Every structure is written in structure tokens, then in C-alpha cells.
Copies of this chain bind each other. A is one copy, B any other.
Amino acid sequence: MTVAGEAARIAAPDEAVSLDELRLAARNHGMPLEALRYDVTPPGLHYLLVHYDIPFIDPASWQLRVGGHVRSPLVLDLAALRARPAVSRTVTLECAGNGRARLVPRPVSQPWLDEAVGTARWTGTSLAPLLREAGVLDGAVDVAFTGHDHGTERGVEQDYQRALSLPDALSEDVLLAYEMNGAPLPPQHGAPVRLIVPGWYGMAHVKWLREITVSDAPFTGFQNAVAYRLRQSADSPGGGEPVTRIQPRALVIPPGFPDFMTRRRVLDAGQVTLSGRAWSGRAPLTAVSLSTDGGASWTTATLGPATERHAWHSWTATWQAAPGEYELCARATDAEGDQPVDPPWNMQGMANNMVQRVPVTVR
């Protein structure tokens, strides 16, 4: 399959948020940053991005087909999936477009600020044994995952579909999940079954799963070939680097209390314990730094214990807050390097892990 697709539009330098962007923001939502306090994000606070509409699927008649370049295609219903060995993993998910609305110029799409993140406890069954049962044939290269959600995107009508390379799909980390935080998946998070690919941005975790297709040719569907790409320009070679694993990021819980309209914070002077979360899907997290002067100077925060590899860490830092104006920034470091203060811009506003900035008035 080869797909075309218009390029994402880039807003003019002084162009404000459009009604289209607002319409997406009213449906999808970030995690209010005060919810960083939870190890596992309570239902309804986890970030949500739905490309088209939430499909409504009767779990009693739902089926998953596993086919393509395999010896023994499989059809499983929910009971069959639940009868397989169950695995639970705590995983931090982040939208690849997180931070897009803070880029200048701004790619026009879901206008995330800092908050497209959440951590959940996912329960399901491992994908790899299922693929082994289906008998992946020699020459297989990619595994495509197709959801029930249907729409158009930049001129291409499609069911949402993303592929992983065969080695990535065979990772023991990858789950077919039917529970979130101990309850059946909510409709908006992919009921009855979704893919979980720990460490990867959200686009890989296909929701409302209906079909798994092994192919002996590279997958060229829209979401892999066109949408989730890091392009510096419309003619980037090969369409740009694919978006894969989550880049390192730290977020601070905005301290004090907010103004309703501006969300600007006021904090009483004194000793304050700042806290937040940090994560990386790329490499193990090693440190978090904190700045109260907008990134001019940094101090090292205390990193909480590692729980699971792909769950966020907690961190804390003590601040002697004297009256004045401040800008808080937090920054994660993983085994591959530091979170950049200002990462390179790309046309679709993907994998943008620029540091958060929280203006605070201490009184």
C-alpha cells in the first residue's frame, strides 16, 4: 500500500490558535499537571488523543484477527485473549505531539502544551507468544496493527493503522491490553483491546484493535510513512526520521495556587518542596535538574526509586523561595544525554521535549 497525504500546515509566525485546533483541544485533553503527584494516573486524568471518533464495540462480539505472512492465521475473541497468561505493566504514555503548540512557528494539529502524558497500569497478554503461535514465515519484516477507528487525515481515508518492525513487535514488553488500572479499558482508551508498546510515543499503542497483519514488505501506511515523521522540510530525505521512542522529559508540579484565566502561580515565601515526574523511553533515566531562573542555572533534584523501566520516576527538590518573580524549569537526563532546553523544530511538531516553563510569583 502506498499513500499520499498533504503536508501538515504551519501557522504563520503571528497566527493565533484556530477554531480547528480549539475543536481538537475541547475533545482531547492533557493531564492537569497537579496529577503528576500520582504514581498511577486516576482514570479520566490520563491524557487522551483520539484521531477520529471513539468507536463503540460490543466486547461480546469483538474479534481479533492475526494474519498475513504467517503459517496459521488466528481469530481470537475476548475470552480467548483473557484465557492466555496475564501480564501487568505500569507504563508512562506521552503523545508524540506533546508541546507542539509551544513551537514557533506552530505546526497546525492537536495543540498540546506540556500535558499530553499519563501513567497507567495495563493488564493484558504478551503479543510475542501469539505471533509465534501464528507462525511468522521467513521473510516477514513488519507487523501492522489496525484499529476500528475510521476517518480521513490530510486527504487519506483510513482505519487508524500503525506498524512495528518484526523485532520490535516480538519484544517481550509488548502487550495486548484489556484492562487499565484494574478495570476493563474505558471506551476512549481503546476498549475492548489495545496495543501497549512500552517506551514508545502514544501513536504506536493502537486502540480498538481489530487486526494484526504480518507483512513481507515494509509497511508504508499513512501513520508510519507520512504522519509520525521528523521532517525539517517538505522534501526531507525519505520523508524524515520515524517517530519511535519517548525522548527524556521532566515536569514540575506547578506550586502555590493559580489564577483562573492565566494559570499564573502565586506562592507564599518560605521553604518549598518542589516535586514532579521524569521519564524517558529512549534510555534509563539518570538525573533530574531544576532551575528557578528560567534555565540560567540548574541544581540537581533527588530522583525517586526506579519502579518499572517504562514508568515515570518521582523527583523532589527543596527551594528557599524568597519574594520575587521566578521561572521554574525541570530537565531530565537519561543514559543517552540531557533533555534539550530548546530542541530542533520539525514540521509536524513531533517528539518535542523542550523544557517546561512555569512562571511563579513568590509573595
- A257 neighbours in B (Cβ, 8 Å): 52-53, 150-152
Query: Do B32 and A152 touch (CB < 8 A)?
Result: no
Smallest CB separation, A231 vs chain B (Å)? 17
Interface string of A1-24 (1 = CB under 8 A from B): 000000000000001111111111
Chain B residue with minimal CB distance to A27?
A: B32
Q: A16-B17, A17-B16, A23-B113 are in contact. Are A260 and B28 (CB under 8 A)?
A: no
Report copies per complex: 2
Query: Do A151 and B23 touch (CB < 8 A)?
Result: no
- A262 neighbours in B (Cβ, 8 Å): 20, 23
The distance in angstroms between the C-alpha atoms of A263 and B109, with both chains bound, is 12
- A56 neighbours in B (Cβ, 8 Å): 34, 37
Smallest CB separation, A354 vs chain B (Å)? 15
Query: Do A26 and B30 touch (CB < 8 A)?
Result: yes
- A30 neighbours in B (Cβ, 8 Å): 26-27
Interface string of A161-204 (1 = CB under 8 A from B): 00000000000000000000000001111000000000000000
Report the stretch among A40-48, A242-250, A275-283 that lies at the interface: A40-48
Interface string of A110-146 (1 = CB under 8 A from B): 0111010000000000000000000000000000000
A235 within 8 A of B: no
- A53 neighbours in B (Cβ, 8 Å): 32, 34, 254, 257-258
- A25 neighbours in B (Cβ, 8 Å): 22, 25-26
- A151 neighbours in B (Cβ, 8 Å): 257-260
Query: Do A111 and B32 touch (CB < 8 A)?
Result: no
- A28 neighbours in B (Cβ, 8 Å): 29
Query: Do B152 and A52 touch (CB < 8 A)?
Result: no
Smallest CB separation, A194 vs chain B (Å)? 15
Query: Do A43 and B45 touch (CB < 8 A)?
Result: no
The distance in angstroms between the C-alpha atoms of A157 and B361, with both chains bound, is 14
Which of B42, B51, B189 has a CB less than 8 Å from the CB of A260? Answer: B51
Query: Do A108 and B32 touch (CB < 8 A)?
Result: no
Interface string of A280-317 (1 = CB under 8 A from B): 00000000000000000000000000000000000000
- A150 neighbours in B (Cβ, 8 Å): 257
Q: Which of A298-346 contact B (CB under 8 A)?
A: none
A54 within 8 A of B: yes
- A259 neighbours in B (Cβ, 8 Å): 151-153
- A362 neighbours in B (Cβ, 8 Å): none
Query: Do B258 and A52 touch (CB < 8 A)?
Result: yes
Smallest CB separation, A120 vs chain B (Å)? 11
By a beta-carbon cutoff of 8 Å, the part of chain A in contact with chain B is 15-30, 32, 34-35, 37, 42-46, 48, 50-54, 56, 101, 108-109, 111-113, 115, 150-154, 157, 186-189, 254, 257-263, 266
**What are 28 residue pairs bridging A and B, where the CB atoms are less than 8 Å apart in the complex?**
A17-B18, A20-B262, A22-B22, A22-B113, A27-B29, A27-B30, A29-B48, A32-B50, A32-B188, A34-B53, A37-B56, A42-B186, A42-B187, A42-B188, A44-B44, A44-B46, A44-B186, A45-B187, A45-B188, A52-B258, A52-B260, A53-B258, A109-B261, A150-B257, A151-B257, A152-B259, A153-B261, A154-B261
